[in-house]
Structure 1
Amino acid sequence: MLSSRLFSSFISLLHPITFSSITICVASWVLFTSTSGEAGIVPLPASIEIRQGSYSLSGEVIYQCPEEWVPALELGLARLSAHSTLDLKKGASAIVKVSKDAKLPKREAYTLEVNAQGIEVKARSEAGVFYACQTLLQAIQQNVYDPGKEWKSLTVPQMLVEDTPRFAWRGLMLDSSRHFQTVEEVKRFIDLMAVHKLNVFHWHLTDSHGWRFESKKYPELTKKGAWRMQPGYPEKGKNRRYGGFYTQAEIKEVIAYAKERMITIVPEIDMPGHCFAMVAAYPQLGCLGKPQEVSHFFTYPAVAQKFPNVKGTDVLCVGKDETLKVCRNILDEVMELFPSKFIHIGGDEVNKSHWKRCSQCQKHMKTNGLANEHELQSWFIQQLDHYITQKNRRMIGWDEILEGGLAKNATVMSWQGEHGGIKAAKMGHDVVMSPQTYIYLDHGQSHSPLEPPHWPGHKPLDRVYSYQPVPKSLNDQEASHIIGVQANVWTVFIHENWLLDLQTWPRAAALAEVGWTPQALRKWDDFYQRMSVSHRKRLDALGVNYWWENAKPIGEWKPEGLKSDSQISELSYDMTKLIEAGQSSDIHIVFQYKRGAHALRIESVALLENDRVLSEDRHKGVAGSTHKRNRYTIPAFTPRKGARYVLHVKAYGDQGADSHGVLTMSKVQTKRVK
């Protein structure tokens, strides 16, 4: 019997070498996982004991379950019959027994026991039943996610799992404004969330670049606000209409789909900023009061961060009574459709300069005794908070809603780092931690030049996994207001579903473990190996185009080894131990800048075998705050036994020698990158 705590300690001994987001694997891991059901489970349960023996499933799989939980059980175990000859049926002689246990600590908690007699699940709710099923599917030694297989029987290790989530809010946000996803693409996103026990789908439905929510009261919001003439879409030089929206019928369909998978959809309708599309549809709602376009990009998505100077305003005129009336009417429609407790109103990045020049906003400030535009924003947010609270819902907004004073009942989503969340928690307000410094998935995850364009920033897999949502500066009472954690997928650079996969996975799997698993049990080496050996196979079977990069550290460069201003420095790295016998593939050397005032400019990279140049790649590359052509290739060759291999680099500091970085031998194993 092996507890998860002992298991993690054992793994940390097996894998002592960790570099950036990459861990060097040892062959003994594969042998070990063949008898351990725990190895592949993501997120890691709160407690798991692997016992001797296993249980085999074949033929008819009879179950007993409280009637109201049958849909959760059947959906949770649907993959059993989908990819095998097994037949799941309700009956008396059950081998899968589900029962209620009101003593479990949380609504989503469950226990799962597999013994010689069968499988027993205890839960407090249908959510616990569904999550027990997800754990069971991952524990099965065969890959039940593979649609190309039809298993005759399935084997489950005997085990005891006692599990409960760390946080109630375990979310992913999807931006459907910048890039519009089809209903089927949204459902697929939800499916992948469910596999990982993520339970809040934050749906970003409106922004300056497109209004995606059908309003019956204000049809121009979708007739005009859902579409843009997109320069450079889908390729440079083209200019065509781009967009779309979700009908209310489609939204109801997605809500029902998510609910079946234990996922709550929290809608976001951005107010009072990020409203180009809204003001384009109804110009009277803006301070300028005249027609304007929906905001767009110069090209999409390659240089999408370069926004054209579209004439108009992205801010609502909150000095007009009509503006608040329209916002309330829209929220009525939203709350009528979405049953979620929380309603997200955005509230971020409000360009208050328009309010400074608006006579109506200034008059409104004077009438209401508001000292400045921050207080004007706070006044508007407070009106929305009061209205939403009257409807027995709770308002949530980005941390800018703190500006000018936080609304009485507001929940804060902290994205500009943690300071907004800390401030709100100390004030007694609930907080969802979502800092862009750790868990913004539109940021880059590699220094490889193969990675497609992304929003500036570097958030590799290990950084996402390292995030601890409860700041040390909070006492126990304040910490109780941290209700969860959420990663965000903004789609400025994402115009196709394969790119959505690439940006989201496997980092969202790391986020799932941050949200579910007790902090004391989270070990990077353990998580990385579960991903490497088992969970990647599931993502492969699910058709996910996730980013995966195996990299081995070669060495580093430092200021003391560099010259500047085109004075070539010659750097050498012994690679003998890294060159494997029988090397059959190209070696890719990637330069990764870490810090310093200056970039590294690379002239050439050569591999020497016993002081003889074996191969050389001559091209100019840069490793700095922006990496350019920083990948160098040594063609495949057959290593000679006993030979010494040295990497020889010619490089210099760009206008100075204050540069630090590392070299890795990198191999990207991603299905599609172009």
Structure 2
Amino acid sequence: MFRYHKFIMKPAGLKKILYFLLLMCGVLIFYLMRYQFSPLSNLSLRLTNKQDDPDHNPAQTEKQPDVWTWRCENEKCIRYQRNRKEPEVSLATCNMLCGSMQLWPKPTGLVSLGTRTISFTVDQIVLETEFVGALEKLVKSAFSCFKENVAKLCGKSDSKNSDINSFKINVNVIKTNVTKLHFDTDESYSLTLKTIKTDLVVIIKATTFFGARHGFETLSQLIWWDEYTHGGTLKVLKGALINDSPMFSYRGLMLDTARNFIPVVKIKKVLVGMAANKLNVFHWHITDSQSFPFRSIRVPKMSAFGAYGRDMVYHPDDIKDIVNYALVRGIRVVIEIDTPAHAGNGWNWGPSEGLGELAVCVNEQPWSAYCGEPPCGQLNPINPNTYDVLEKLYKDIIELTKEDEIFHLGGDEVNLECWSRKLKWNNDTGYYSDLHDLWGKFTVEALQRLKKANGGKLPKHVVMWSSNLSKKPYTTKYLNKNNIVIQVWGPLQWGEGVDLLREGYRLILSHVDAWYLDCGFGRWREMGEAACDPYRTWQSVYMHRPWQILGTNRHNILGGEACLWSEQVDLDSVEARLWPRAAAFAERVWNDPPFDAYAAVGVAEDVYTRLNTQRDRLISRGLVAEAMWPQWCSQNPGMCL
């Protein structure tokens, strides 16, 4: 049984409790105020806020005296503990003034660089030009790209430190009517940089816009951000003279967007990287047996049946946008719809429209019996409707890209077993004892349809992958060397390039053992080995110089192309797979610098430092690039090389 006792507190007790509570509140407030204003607390809060802020700019960090400075000794930047009386010299400034030039790709002509610097601001850069029409638009657009790249060096800094009144760029182009890139387009340029009174004046001279664009790119590489001077400022060399032109007219990069869809925004970033390295052909492998994301104007069913999803399609406006974006950056776009192999999903709507089987072996199992990787699929060469569809697709591509000099027909890895088992022969279609002849007949008919799609004229350079059809006796039987260019993808030791050159064919080189950037990432399917191990390092990419071995008719080598197939590449990894290895390739096909194959070190030391500087430029432009070495090596290159 519980009893209730009424409790009455006396006034004196109530006062004691109130005093105690007030005392505790005072103690709590004291400790809170002490923590709020303590140095440790402020440091912690600052670090937390800066790490969480994606827009935090290191250039705006509260400046602390730097312990280190760099001195140029024996053409290398050496790190030293700074003497208080000694001026601070940043690593970036030391690199630009010490030893080898920090230009990439290395110019082929005369280079003379000054040893003094000038500070300036982005707002002081002005373009002086008197062009009109299409050329004026291109030059101004290229200038805008240049200025944007310079601005990105600053981050969010609003530094106004300058040693000049203005930064004037004067562009002179001789052939004002050349606004499309061709094999014989002159891409040479000269760049002169000098001070006139209180102005910095740059003169870029070029035969065509494409040379002038390269001049803008080289000028951007004479500019850097110095975090030591005035708390951070843009710097440029006070004087320079550069003459430059490429060794090869075709400097390509192939990207496969069919195995995994790569969105337009990422393709544009690839083009930004290409422009930074003076690559000039974007070979777009846009479809394959896995998917058909190309939205054809004339045959919309291709993407309706073949795209991974409605949001994974390249619409006509997307392609026009990419073509224009590339042109401003000195790049032409070559779209490839591979045939007759590598054609499956997207081609499987023929029966429902009364057109019969446009493709055979589509998604056939076991895939190893019908193709090199799943899913399988090849065009049906004995169905005339297949060629009607091809002609429409070819016309779409030519209209969208405005590219009528180069056309890529595909033509690799035809599986004759697929045709042997799946084609339905009759008296009208006939039968071929050697299915290579059927392959050849398909190619001849595809070329005729391409000719019709191009207004009755076959493009001057029709590119095809090397294959069994590009070997004797089929080459001379089906491939006219006056029109056909062979893109050799097999390893150099196969020797197919030598045979083709002897027969008089023109070549684009893409040797799998050096310039396939997708290799070395392991096996993605359970059956079979990894496609092309091992990983191609940037050094192996750089040191591949196949024309030195091929020898015969070297003038028929139009250039080279690095390839990135996308079985194990998507939008999140495409940039790191390309850079900086594609940059290493770019210097090989722009300058083709010599090296001693018998030396202990095949790659010269300055290549490491120049490529690392170029990687930093790519990162400043928003690209992702693989690390070349620990950051310590960047600060102490002489101790790593």
Provide the residue aligned with 1:376 in structure 2: 438
Provide the residue aligned with 2:605 in structure 1: 525
What is the correspondence of 1:461-610 to structure 2 with a 5 Å cutoff?
461-475=538-552, 478-497=553-572, 499-520=573-594, 523-532=603-612, 534-550=613-629
Question: Which residue, out of 471, 484, 492, partners 1:410?
Answer: 484
The aligned amino acid for 2:575 is D
Question: Which residue, out of 515, 527, 536, partners 1:459?
Answer: 536
Secondary structure of the residue that 1:343 maps to in structure 2?
strand
Question: Which residue, out of 377, 380, 384, partners 1:317?
Answer: 380
Shift of 1:524: 3.8
Secondary structure of the residue that 1:165 maps to in structure 2?
coil
| Unmatched 5+ stretches in structure 2 | 1-71, 81-90, 176-183, 523-529, 597-602, 634-639
Query: Does residue 111 of the first structure (1) align with residue 190 of the second (2)?
Result: yes
Which of the two has greater helix per residue? 2
Question: Which residue, out of 98, 116, 120, partners 1:57?
Answer: 120
Shift of 1:528: 1.3
The aligned amino acid for 2:580 is P
Provide the residue aligned with 2:205 in structure 1: 122
* Cα distance in structure 2, aligned partners of 1:281 and 1:86: 61
Give the share of equivalent positions with the same residue, in percent: 24
What is the correspondence of 1:347-362 to structure 2 with a 5 Å cutoff?
347-358=411-422, 360=424
Shift of 1:509: 0.6
TM-score normalised over the length of structure 1: 0.65
The CA deviation string for residues 5-33 of structure 1, in whole angstroms up to 9 with x for no partner, is xxxxxx9x989xxxxxxxxx976998862
Q: Are residues 383 and 306 of structure 1, via their aligned partners in 2, closer, same or farther at CA, if it must alter by over 3 Å?
A: closer
Q: Which moved more, 1:338-347 or 1:122-131?
A: 338-347
The CA deviation string for residues 48-68 of structure 1, in whole angstroms up to 9 with x for no partner, is 222343444345333322413
Q: Are residues 496 and 329 of structure 1, via their aligned partners in 2, closer, same or farther at CA, if it must alter by over 3 Å?
A: closer
Shift of 1:320: 1.9
How many residues align structurally? Answer: 492
Provide the residue aligned with 2:223 in structure 1: 140
What is the correspondence of 1:95-244 to structure 2 with a 5 Å cutoff?
95-100=168-173, 107-117=186-196, 118-142=201-225, 153-227=234-308, 244=312
Q: Are residues 352 and 36 of structure 1, via their aligned partners in 2, closer, same or farther at CA, if it must alter by over 3 Å?
A: same
Contact 1:208 1:277 in 2 (8 A): yes
* Cα distance in structure 1, aligned partners of 2:226 and 2:569: 30
Shift of 1:381: 1.4
Provide the residue aligned with 2:143 in structure 1: 73
Q: Are residues 286 and 528 of structure 1, via their aligned partners in 2, closer, same or farther at CA, if it must alter by over 3 Å?
A: farther
Contact 1:438 1:459 in 2 (8 A): yes
* Cα distance in structure 2, aligned partners of 1:94 and 1:31: 19
Q: Are residues 50 and 173 of structure 1, via their aligned partners in 2, closer, same or farther at CA, if it must alter by over 3 Å?
A: same
| Unmatched 5+ stretches in structure 1 | 1-10, 16-24, 228-240, 299-304, 447-452, 553-579, 581-665, 667-674
Contact 2:195 2:238 in 1 (8 A): no
Secondary structure of the residue that 1:278 maps to in structure 2?
coil
Q: Are residues 362 and 188 of structure 1, via their aligned partners in 2, closer, same or farther at CA, if it must alter by over 3 Å?
A: farther
Provide the residue aligned with 1:616 in structure 2: none
Shift of 1:42: 1.3
Contact 1:170 1:486 in 2 (8 A): yes
Shift of 1:444: 2.6
Shift of 1:256: 1.1
The aligned amino acid for 1:433 is L
* Cα distance in structure 2, aligned partners of 1:295 and 1:81: 54
Provide the residue aligned with 2:56 in structure 1: none
RMSD, aligned α-carbons: 4.0
* Cα distance in structure 1, aligned partners of 2:210 and 2:578: 24
Contact 2:117 2:235 in 1 (8 A): no
Shift of 1:384: 2.2
The aligned amino acid for 2:278 is K
The aligned amino acid for 1:273 is A
Contact 1:56 1:155 in 2 (8 A): yes
Shift of 1:392: 4.3
Structure 1 runs (4+) deviating above 4 angstroms are 25-32, 81-87, 149-153, 283-298, 305-308, 358-367
